[in-house]
Amino acid sequence: MIQENDILISPATAREVVLLFIQALNDEDFDTARDQLHDTMTFTGVLGTREGADAYIADMKKMRLKYDIKKSFSDITDVSVFYDITMSGVTVFCSGWYRVENGKISWFKVVFDPRPVLEQKK
């Protein structure tokens, strides 16, 4: 356990929160996925941003992304995940950086090359 800002945090716990979140999205268990997010979480991605857990989950219900995790790392409150994500019938390699605070995801950023997705929408 590591103490940061008067909060005891375990890197394994932060990683477990993120992996549970991703598995819940894969399983389309959106209630469990939502439970892993702070109400005011933010998402930043290549194709847009989302403010708030409810807005993010509403989009995930429409998109129904599928994740194939390749590797994950954790460091106190931060978790990095490399994965293939299938979206719009296209699979792209992505990297996600998640921040876990007080046992829930407070923000995350995902980067990938969007060209295959954009070409699919043409």
Residue ranges of the domains in the chain? 2-120
Q: What is the mean pLDDT of the chain?
A: 90
Q: At residue 63, does pLDDT exceed 70?
A: yes
Predicted pLDDT at 10? 61
pLDDT in tens, 15-25: 999 999 999 99
pLDDT at position 117: 82
Q: Per residue in 86-109, is it b (16+ CB within 10 Å) or e — as a string?
A: ebeeeebebebebbbbeebbbbbe
> What is the CATH number assigned to the segment(s) 2-120?
3.10.450.50
Give residue 89's pLDDT band: very low, low, confident or very high (50, 70, 90): confident
Query: What is d(CA 53, CA 36) in angstroms, rounded to the nearest whole number?
Result: 9
